[in-house]
Amino acid sequence: MTALRISDLGMTFDGKAGRLVALDGITLDVEPGEFVSLIGPSGCGKSTLLRLIGDLLSPTAGAISVNAKSPRQARLDRDYGMVFQKATLLDWRTVADNIRLPLEVMGFSRTERNRRTKSNLELVQLDEFADLHPWQLSGGMQQRVAIARALAFEPSLLLMDEPFGALDEMTRERMQMELMRIWSRTGITVVFVTHSIPEAVFLSTRVVVMSPRPGRITDIVPIGLGQPREFATRKEERFFELITAVREKLRGIEQSGDQP
C-alpha cells in the first residue's frame, strides 16, 4: 500500500490582497519507509503542502490519501507525527511530560505511557534529562524532545517542517545523523521540508524540487546514496554530484522565473 498518494492537488487562498494560487497540479506518491524531502525557494508552497498532508489545511482541488484514507481520517487515527521549526514544547511540563502529552491525548494506560516515554527518551538520547524543563535545554536538545514526542505514539508518517532550520550548522549536522539513525531503526515514512540542499540530499531517498507562484513540482531527484548514511557520506563524490544536480534544478527555476 502506498503510504502517501497526492493527485492533482491544488490550493488557492482567497485573501484581502486577492487570489493566491499556492499549489497547482501536485502529484506525488510516497512508498512506506521512504524519506522524501520537499525543497524550493520560499513561496513555493512546501510548508502548505505539508500542512495539507497533515490535514491542518484542506485543499481546494485534487485529493490526498494517506494509507488509503483521507487526511482527516488519518489524523483522527493518529497516523501523523509532526515536528515544526520551533520545538513548541510546553514550558510548564518537564521533558518527559511533554513526550507524554500525545500519549495522554490518545488514552494510553499509565504504564504504557511511561514505557513509551522512557524508550523514546532513550531513542533521542535524552534519558538523563527527563525531569528538566524545556528552557533548561539547548535548541538542539529541545528539537530532539519534539522528535521523541512525535514518535512516541508510533505514527506511520512523520511530517517535518524545517525542523533544523533554527539550529547552528554543527548541531544541525549532528541532528541529521540522529534523524538518520532513528529513521533506519523505526522504518517510518518521512516527508521533510527544508531549504538546505545538502540537508535534503544527505537525508532523503528522493528530493522533490518545487517552483514558486504557483507552487509546482518541477523535478524529482532520486538520491542513490548507500544506506545507512554516515559521517563519511558527506565526503563522497556522489554526494557532491547530487548536490550539484539539485542545485542545477533549483537554478533552472530561478532563471525561468527571471524571464518576463
Interface residue list for other proteins (CB under 8 A) = 54-56, 75-76, 78, 80, 82, 84, 86, 88, 90-92, 101-102, 104-106, 132-133, 135-136, 153, 159
For residues 180 and 193, which CB has a smaller minimum distance to other proteins in the complex?
193
Cβ contacts of 170 within 8 Å, gap of 6 or more? none
Helix (H) or strand (E) holding 120: helix 110-123
For residues 63 and 106, which CB has a smaller minimum distance to other proteins in the complex?
106
C-alpha to C-alpha distance for 214 and 255, rounded to whole angstroms: 16
For residues 116 and 249, which CB has a smaller minimum distance to other proteins in the complex?
116
Which 3 state secondary structure label does DSSP give 142? helix
Which 3 state secondary structure label does DSSP give 213? coil
Task: Supply the minimum distance, in Å, between the C-beta of residue 146 and other proteins.
Answer: 9
For residues 74 and 221, which CB has a smaller minimum distance to other proteins in the complex?
74
Helices 95-105 and 110-123, interaxial angle, to 10°? 130
For residues 86 and 195, which CB has a smaller minimum distance to other proteins in the complex?
86
C-alpha to C-alpha distance for 134 and 136, rounded to whole angstroms: 5
CA triple 43-180-170, angle to 5 deg: 70
For residues 133 and 206, which CB has a smaller minimum distance to other proteins in the complex?
133
C-alpha to C-alpha distance for 260 and 258, rounded to whole angstroms: 6
For residues 159 and 253, which CB has a smaller minimum distance to other proteins in the complex?
159
Task: Supply the minimum distance, in Å, between the C-beta of residue 32 and other proteins.
Answer: 20
Task: Supply the minimum distance, in Å, between the C-beta of residue 76 and other proteins.
Answer: 5
C-alpha cell, 205:
531517498
Task: Supply the minimum distance, in Å, between the C-beta of residue 127 and other proteins.
Answer: 16
C-alpha to C-alpha distance for 87 and 12, rounded to whole angstroms: 28
Task: Supply the minimum distance, in Å, between the C-beta of residue 257 and other proteins.
Answer: 30
C-alpha to C-alpha distance for 145 and 134, rounded to whole angstroms: 9
Task: Supply the minimum distance, in Å, between the C-beta of residue 209 and other proteins.
Answer: 26
Task: Supply the minimum distance, in Å, between the C-beta of residue 101 and other proteins.
Answer: 6
Please state whether the peptide bond connecting residue 59 to the residue before it is cis, i.e. omega within 30 degrees of 0: no
Cα distances (angstroms) measured from residue 212 to each of 138, 148, 191, 250: 34, 32, 19, 11
